[in-house]
Amino acid sequence: MEIIEINDYRDLNQQEPTVLVLGYFDGIHLGHQALLQRARKIADQEGLTVTVLTFPESPKLAFARFSLDLLLHLTSPEQRYQLLADHGVDRLFLTPFTSEFASNQPEQFVERYIKGLKAQVLVAGFDYHFGNCRADVTTLAELFDGRVEVVEAVTMGGEKISSTRIRQAIKEGNVTLANQLLGHTFTTQGLVVHGDARGRTIGYPTANLAPYDRVHLPSDGVYVADVEVGGRRYRAMTSVGKNVTFDGTELRIEAHIFDFEDFIYGESMTIFWLEKIRDMIKFDGIEALMEQMKSDEAYSLNWGQHD
């Protein structure tokens, strides 16, 4: 997949006709995948390419009062791009969602961006909006002289699959639901760094992760996880939060990797969040903590075998 960063429509130099997919695509969840699959099918039938026009950061940054959460994503940029490529996108155009971009009238957006990208067919979700007046897909079909394919809502549990719903599930620690809605496993990537080395003294050494990217973290607690390091994948139990038993004050991500004794400081590691076991608890002492960790270990090692 070719990735092209542009500042505005004047940088567009697309030459070949394409199927253009419109949206923000944070997470590339099952709803997004339905759009991409529809586009790929049309492109294959009609001998076209698939192009996505999207934004590196949330459009909300141009409208909403700033909060740090607006800078967080459901996937790292690299994972996002890989998922788009895996789902059949040939060319990805990234443009910043600025006040200037937001000020485009619907007619201007169609003329400048959609025609500028040589779109023959448009694919958009039923709730897609565009232009300075937030025009909908009905207006899009009226302004565009090609074909507009509108993809209806993809639901699970009677509710629309959306990035907002997934972010809420992650915030609540419900990574099981988040993974189902995403259609792939929610991950955190980072660098293995030194911690307090306390885990090693009680028989549960941990790899401490410093996240690379501005990606949401699950709520405080202990999770069943897989980790990937050095090109291999291992089962782990992973905690997120402050080590309250030892009066910790800093947020830590610590993975105890089973059947693993290598020193991996400075290496990249990816955590695949599978299921939350419990909340963070302040234990009365080491013995109570150890008893709980043995229970967490047994659950983690047997995870998936009882499904």
Flag whether 67 is in a domain: yes
**Residues 6 or more apart whose Cβ sits within 8 Å of residue 14:** 51, 91, 116, 117, 118
- Give the pLDDT score at 123: 98
- Domain match, 142 and 266 both: no
Residue 43 CA: distances (Å) to CA of 19, 31, 38, 68, 90? 6, 19, 9, 38, 10
- Domain match, 195 and 252 both: yes
Contact, 25 vs 52, CB < 8 A?
yes
- Domain match, 199 and 144 both: no
- Domain match, 191 and 128 both: no
Domain of 44: which CATH number?
Answer: 3.40.50.620
- Domain match, 249 and 202 both: yes
- At residue 34, the 3 state secondary structure works out as helix
Flag whether 28 is in a domain: yes
Contact, 50 vs 1, CB < 8 A?
no
| Domain range for 239 | 186-302
Flag whether 166 is in a domain: no
Paired sense of beta strands 49-54 and 18-22, if any:
parallel
Contact, 19 vs 119, CB < 8 A?
yes
From 112, 134, 155, the end of a domain falls on 155
From 105, 135, 155, the end of a domain falls on 155
Flag whether 170 is in a domain: no
Q: How far apart are the first and last CA of the chain?
A: 37
Flag whether 29 is in a domain: yes
- Give the pLDDT score at 15: 84
- Domain match, 146 and 19 both: yes
- Domain match, 104 and 222 both: no
**Domain total for the chain?**
2
- Give the pLDDT score at 293: 86
Flag whether 177 is in a domain: no
User: How many residues in the chain?
Assistant: 307
- Domain match, 41 and 150 both: yes
Flag whether 165 is in a domain: no
Question: pLDDT of the chain along its 307 residues, tens only?
Answer: 999 999 999 999 888 999 999 999 999 999 999 999 999 999 999 999 999 999 999 999 988 899 989 999 999 999 999 999 999 999 999 999 999 999 999 999 999 999 999 999 999 999 999 999 999 999 999 999 999 999 999 999 999 999 999 999 999 999 999 999 999 999 999 999 987 655 555 557 889 999 998 999 999 999 999 999 999 999 999 999 876 444 455 788 999 999 998 889 999 999 999 999 999 887 777 778 888 889 999 999 999 875 5
Per-residue HEC secondary structure of 54-93 comes to ECCCCHHHHCCCCCHHHHCECCCHHHHHHHHHHCCCCEEE
- Domain match, 143 and 205 both: no
- Domain match, 99 and 207 both: no
Domain of 223: which CATH number?
Answer: 2.40.30.30
- Domain match, 287 and 193 both: yes
| Phi, psi for residue 105 in degrees, rounded to 5 | -70, 155
State how far the Cα of 18 lies from the Cα of 176, in Å rounded to an integer: 36
From 155, 177, 207, the end of a domain falls on 155
Flag whether 200 is in a domain: yes
Tokens matching residue 90: 């040939």
- Give the pLDDT score at 246: 46
- Domain match, 101 and 216 both: no
